[in-house]
């Protein structure tokens, strides 16, 4: 009887101790929130519906306790959000179908901010990825590429961030901000094995794009996109871990994203 108890108890105790050690370890890490809060100031594509927030209840109720409840409405693609692969690839993963393990991984922060500061239409090239590897080693399997353009400094100023503050379909032709060149997207798909890619602008493709080639190349390979990321300047080039958990919308092409990193 006693021996059986110990045989059962020891693994349980070891598991508890292991979890406790992990919890303590994470509490000592540096955490960075890569998400912007959603509000009426949140930037959306010029022809998309913005974020709407309505207070339904706020205050002491008739039963004598405080109660708050709100309603919100928004387009899938705006603010810090997920692009599910189906957004630009028929039959690819929807928001709810993306495996959890594809939303967590080692961060590879590729800094193109110096090049983008002098050219709003700069697109990350293969050479930028190769330069990163020359300094930090080969991009690991399952990596989440984070492209730092430096445009987060403009948020939430629409004109500075997008290149135009205008709204409507015509305004989509006036956008100028950095992105990922299709050749770099193709190289990542064919030469490396990544799980996702994110950027601190409103689109994986640069603002002047009309055909969204980088979206199409990456998403066809079921590589998810994270757009309008915050605080990429607070992450090291390598060594951080990303956790990106989007709203789980059935059959969705995207949705609001809470994304964090720790190192």
The tens place of each residue's pLDDT in the chain, 263 residues long, gives 444 434 444 444 344 344 444 555 888 999 999 999 999 999 999 999 999 999 999 999 999 999 999 999 999 999 999 999 999 999 999 999 999 999 999 999 999 999 999 999 999 999 999 999 999 999 999 999 999 999 999 999 999 999 999 999 999 999 999 999 999 999 999 999 999 999 999 999 999 999 999 999 999 999 999 999 999 999 999 999 999 999 999 999 999 999 999 99
Neighbouring C-beta atoms of residue 162, cutoff 10 Å: 26
Domain locations in the chain as residue ranges: 31-49+76-262
> How far is the C-alpha of 173 from the C-alpha of 233, rounded, in Å?
29
Residue 24 has a pLDDT of 59
CA distances, 235 to each of 10, 76, 112, 126 (Å): 39, 27, 14, 21
List CB contacts of 55: < 8 A, sequence separation 6 or more.
68, 70
List CB contacts of 21: < 8 A, sequence separation 6 or more.
none
Fold of the CATH domain 31-49+76-262: Glucose Oxidase; domain 1 (3.50.30)
Residue 23 has a pLDDT of 54
Residue 26 has a pLDDT of 84
pTM of the shown model: 0.90
């Amino acid at each position: 009887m006693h021996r059986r108890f110990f045989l059962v108890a020891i693994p349980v105790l070891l598991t508890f101790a292991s979890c406790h050690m992990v919890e303590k370890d994470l509490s000592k890490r540096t955490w960075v929130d890569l998400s912007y809060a959603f509000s009426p100031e949140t930037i959306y594509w010029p022809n998309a519906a913005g974020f709407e927030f309505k207070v339904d209840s706020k205050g002491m109720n008739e039963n004598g306790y405080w109660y708050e409840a709100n309603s919100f409405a928004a387009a899938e693609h705006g603010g810090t959000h997920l692009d599910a692969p189906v957004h630009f690839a028929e039959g690819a993963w929807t928001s709810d179908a993306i495996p959890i393990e594809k939303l967590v991984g080692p961060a590879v922060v590729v800094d193109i901010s110096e090049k983008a500061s002098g050219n709003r239409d700069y697109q990350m090239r293969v050479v930028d990825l190769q330069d990163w590897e020359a300094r930090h080693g080969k991009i690991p399997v399952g990596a989440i590429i984070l492209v730092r353009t430096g445009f987060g400094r403009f948020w939430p100023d629409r004109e500075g961030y997008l290149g135009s503050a205008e709204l409507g379909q015509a305004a989509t032709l006036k956008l100028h901000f950095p992105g990922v060149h299709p050749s770099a997207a193709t190289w990542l798909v064919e030469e490396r094995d990544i799980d996702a890619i994110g950027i601190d602008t409103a689109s994986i493709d640069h603002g002047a794009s009309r055909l969204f080639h980088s979206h199409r190349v990456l998403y066809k390979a079921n590589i998810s996109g994270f757009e309008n990321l915050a605080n990429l300047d607070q992450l090291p080039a390598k060594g951080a871990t990303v956790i990106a958990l989007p709203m789980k919308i059935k059959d969705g092409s995207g949705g609001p994203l809470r994304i964090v990193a720790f190192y």
